[in-house]
Amino acid sequence: MVILLKIAGQTGSGEPLLLLGLTGENVTRLAAGEPILIRSSELGKLGLPPIVIGIHYGKTVDAILEELKGHGIKFAH
């Protein structure tokens, strides 16, 4: 299991904040084309509304879009 730090809080000016901390292993996996998904159940434990957050790495925007399409991600434009 790869640990991803997830913290909900507020900025110094009071704005809602979701902080995601990536480990070296997270970055290695991202660079290998393995996206990170953060599910609603994990965010609910932080007191946040349901949503899935995805983090993906690519050398260019086009490369990211092509890889995400390969994972079956559909985009709303």
Residue with tokens 């434009």: 77
- Is the pTM higher than 0.75? The answer reads no
Q: Helix/strand/coil (H, E, C) string of 2-66?
A: CCCEEEEEECCCCCEEEEEECCHHHHHHHHCCCCEEECHHHHHCCCCCCCCEEECCCCCHHHHHH
Check residue 68 and give its pLDDT.
Answer: 80
Residue-wise pLDDT for 12-33, tens only, equals: 888 887 888 888 888 998 899 8
User: Mean of the per-residue pLDDT values for the chain?
Assistant: 81
Domain segments of the chain: what residues?
Answer: 5-70
In 3D space, the residue among 38, 76, 77 whose CA is nearest the CA of residue 56 turns out to be 38
